[in-house]
Amino acid sequence: MSDLESSTTIRDYIYTVLDANKNWAQRLNQTFPQYFPDPEDKQAPKILWIGCSDSRVQESDATTALPGNVFVHRNIANQFHLHDDSALSVFAYAVKVLGTRHVVVVGHEHCGGAITALKEARRPPSADQLERHHTLYDSLYHLVETFHINEIHDKDSNDPNDAITRWLTPLVHRIRKLELPAEEGTAVRIVIEENVKLQIEKIVQLGDWVRRNVREPDGRPATVWVHGWVYDFATGFIRDLNVTRELGGGSE
């Protein structure tokens, strides 16, 4: 196949997707018309899913949810930063406006972001650290990226590598405080769980805001539950970490 033919095939893939969408929508409208929500009905999702952008994780499939039941915020390594307006606005809209009462932070097995953070945390510091480059394999996307890890970056930088480095910094700091086994698989599994717990700790800091701002329709203070899960996309099973916290409703 020539380079031109290959380029055309890649470019035309999007039309394959659009054709597939047309067939899918027609089939569902004929066989299960209730699948698509009535635009006149207000959405009332039961769950806010804070998960990873990994393309192998599908929250609607994992929870067998129909459209309208899961409100979603996804990013690299399922982070929840308290300075991130995107995450904060999703949280506020879900619990205050839509009435969502369950927030789930969902990590997943084989998380490339967690693996990247672990590799950085394990790399011993050195005098020439700011000059060094090293290659990390990102299992999320099967891409090889070269990061300037531990480099001091301009916070206004638009370089995607800088953004990823900043994004994972809190997780790297958390990992450096852990006593992890040398065995890679076990260490990664622990990091994935600790990552979920770290994000829950951040969300819990919004407890005062929930108490002041979130009410049930009858005016009573609302209770919001924050859960921690790990999803295994190789098997489809969700593992509950049993770290649920309760916000509002008179609690912390």
> Can you say which residues are annotated as belonging to the binding site for Zn(2+)?
52, 54, 108, 111
Residue 46: name the closest of 225, 243, 232, 242 by CA: 225
Do 104 and 94 form a contact (C-beta atoms < 8 A)?
no
Whose tokens are 């852990």? That residue is 178
Question: What does the alpha-carbon distance between residue 198 and residue 194 come to, in Å, rounded to a whole number?
Answer: 6
Structure tokens at 14: 């999007």
User: Number of helices (H) and strands (E), helices first, in the chain?
Assistant: 7, 8
Whose tokens are 């089939």? That residue is 27
Whose tokens are 């005016």? That residue is 219
Q: How many CA atoms lie within 13 A of 27 on its CB side?
A: 6
Do 208 and 214 form a contact (C-beta atoms < 8 A)?
no
> What does the DSSP 8-state code read for residue 235?
T
Q: Binding site: residue ranges?
A: 52, 54, 108, 111
- In angstroms, the Cα distances linking 223 to 95, 100, 158, 204, 219 are 10, 10, 39, 12, 12
